[in-house]
Structure 1
Amino acid sequence: MADKKIVSIEDRIPQLKQARKKKANRRFIIYLTLIILLILIIVYMQSPLSHVKSVTVVDNEMVDEETIISYSKISFDESFWNVDTNDVMEKIEQHPEIRHAEINRSWYNTFVIAVQEFERVAYQRDGDYYYPILQNGNKIEEVQLDHPREDAPLLHGFEDEMLQSIAYQLSQIPESINLLISEVYWEPEESNRERIRLFTIDGQEVIGVISNFSSKMSAYPSIASQLSDDIDGILHLDVGAYFVPYEGEDVEEAEELEFDEEV
């Protein structure tokens, strides 16, 4: 049997000391790194580097970025990490045209605000100015226009309840059809308070009712394509769908023209 080499405790002591020294050095480096990181964090939090540097707004179309940032009440002199994002979102959603807002931190000093706006479905004149009407029927008095824009029809005579109803109906119409509508008049009758008269950009006059307006107007393009350019009259989309030429039209058969429509 081979003789086993016996290492005395005296020979092992230097090795143990070296191992302990390496372990102590590792601990020292770890502790020193943590202390340096803590100092850097404290310096960062107390310095202008921790302040909000920029705010970016995305997905806004009608409300400008400066207005949204103003509503957010974010200060560029405050700490980036002290900003209450939930509070910021609530403040932005106080703007009448903002349906929903989300805010996210980007890097170490930038906020990104994403918004969802209420759709502008019409304009209405009040005094010397025209005001946007949102899909929820609210009139945006903060926006005063000298002339209505061409991205939505102009409303005439609508009161609060009916204004909300027509705004909702307009929001349900495809944009391609909504852009064809030039003006809408509320013309209530004793037997029908929802009666409306509208004019399209292609020169048609249409009679309808508010409650089924969006579904009836969905058939308008196919019906309008069947109308003769030589005959002027009124297209009725209130009950059924039929066309009545104006009196005095030079038409061989000035009869009511009916259309097959599924609405």
Structure 2
Amino acid sequence: MEKGKVVVLEERVPKLKEQRRQRANRLLIVYIALFFMLLLAVIYAQSPLSNVAVIHVEGNRHIASQDVIQLSGVTKKTSFWKVKKDEVEQRIQQHPEVKEVSVKKRIPNRIDIVIVERKRIAYILDKHSFLPILENGKVLTDVKRAIPSDAPILIGWKEGEAIQDMAAQLAHTPSSILNLISEIHYTPSPSDRRHITVYMNDGIEVSATIDRFAEKIVHYPSIVSQLQPGIKGVLHLEMSTYFKPYEADEGNEKDENER
């Protein structure tokens, strides 16, 4: 029996050696493959192939894409793997018109920047240019050639508490209502130092006060819908709400002249 066992072991030794050799060869191949993969990764990281190829900006309306890219600090010479999203977002967030920003890295070398701008709620006439007023009340004084096509124009206003309060009211006014407003004039009177005169795009004049303006102006569409078509006049939104046609004013003037 012992001699039989020795014979069996002697027959298995070459097979065990072959298995060990094959296992060692496989491990060697794995190590070599890993080495070359690491080497290629290092070469790729150090070569221009790893640089950012595409910088895409979306969501911006008033801010130029190039300005966003410049603020980001990312260029076509920046390594894709060295772009830190948090740092890029912080740099872009410094722009006064940026409300929110999100940066996404897309392999192999694309950077997506998604912008949410602060709403422009009005434009203030300053000499011969229009300065945008943001929803947080900030006036942008360094904007060139701003075109007031998406918000009303403030005329006769000066920097101070009144304009900040008006900005706060407009910030709470729906965009659908803001689009109906053409101009807002600051027209204080002895009885109301916060009186304003609002000119609507449909030709109707609104007499109101700064306080609770957002709360009252939202009813404008429903009030106007009850008026006779084509009639123009002044809609009073002060203490009480009523409409006074222009024709009635002219008739009263004639009656007073006859007297």
TM-score bracket for the superposition, by shorter chain length: 0.7 to 0.9
| Residues 122, 154 of structure 2: 8 Å contact kept | yes
Q: Check if 1:105 corresponds to 2:105.
A: yes
Counterpart amino acid of 2:75? S
Instruction: After superposition, give the CA deviation of every residue in 1:179-223 in whole Å (9 maximum; x if it has no partner).
Output: 110100122334533221101011111111222111101110111
Instruction: Give, as a single letter, the amino acid of the residue that structure 2 aligns with 1:150.
Output: S
Root mean square deviation of aligned Cα:
2.2
Q: Secondary structure at the match of 1:199?
A: strand
**In structure 2, what residue type is equivalent to 1:156?**
I
Which consecutive residues of structure 2, in runs of 5 or more, have no partner in the other structure?
A: none
Residue matched to 1:152? 151
Structure 1 residues 230 and 25: CA distance shift in structure 2, 3 A: closer
Please report how far the alpha carbon of residue 168 of structure 1 lies from its aligned counterpart in structure 2 after TM superposition: 2.5
CA distance in 2, matches of 1:121, 1:81: 40
Aligned-pair identity (%): 38
2:187: which partner in 1?
Answer: 187
How far apart, in 1, do the equivalents of 2:160 and 2:37 lie?
A: 61
Match of 1:259?
A: none
After superposition, residues 118-137 of structure 1 pair within 5 angstroms as: 118-137=118-137
Aligned to 1:249: 250
Higher helix share: 2
Distance apart, 1:134 and its partner CA = 1.1
Deviations 1:119-174 (A, max 9, x none): 0111111122112211112122232227x433211111232322222222222222
Cα contact 1:195–1:210 (8 A) shared by 2: yes
Counterpart of 1:96 in structure 2 is: 96
The answer to whether residue 207 in structure 2 is matched with residue 221 in structure 1 is no
1:78 Cα offset (Å): 2.5
How far, CA to CA, are the matches of 2:187 and 2:11 in structure 1?
109
1:239 maps to 239
TM-score (norm 1): 0.86
Structure 1 Cα separation of the partners of residues 19 and 105 of structure 2: 46
Report matched runs for 1:38-57 at 5 Å. Answer: 38-57=38-57
Superposed displacement of residue 231, structure 1: 5.0
Q: Partner amino acid for 1:23?
A: R
Moved more, 161-170 or 207-216: 161-170
Question: For each residue in 1:238-263, what CA deviation from the matched residue of structure 2 results, as whole angstroms up to 9, or x when unmatched?
Answer: 22311234454349xx9xxxxxxxxx
Q: Report the number of matched residues.
A: 247
**For the structure 1 residues 36 and 188, does the alpha-carbon distance in structure 2 shift closer, same or farther, using more than 3 Å as the test?**
same
1:232, CA displacement in angstroms? 4.0
**Contact 2:130/2:148, CA 8 A, preserved across alignment:** no
Q: Distance in 2 between matches of 1:165 and 1:27?
A: 74
Q: In structure 2, give the amino acid aligned to 1:86.
A: D
SS at match of 2:102: strand
150-159 or 41-50, which deviates more: 150-159
Match in the other structure for 1:33: 33
Residues 21 and 129 from structure 1, CA distance in 2 versus in 1: closer, same or farther, beyond 3 angstroms? same
User: Is residue 82 from structure 1 mapped to residue 72 from structure 2 by the alignment?
Assistant: no
SS at match of 1:143: coil
Stretch moving more, 239-248 or 57-66: 239-248
Q: Bigger shift: 5-14 or 100-109?
A: 5-14
Contact 1:231 1:249 in 2 (8 A): no
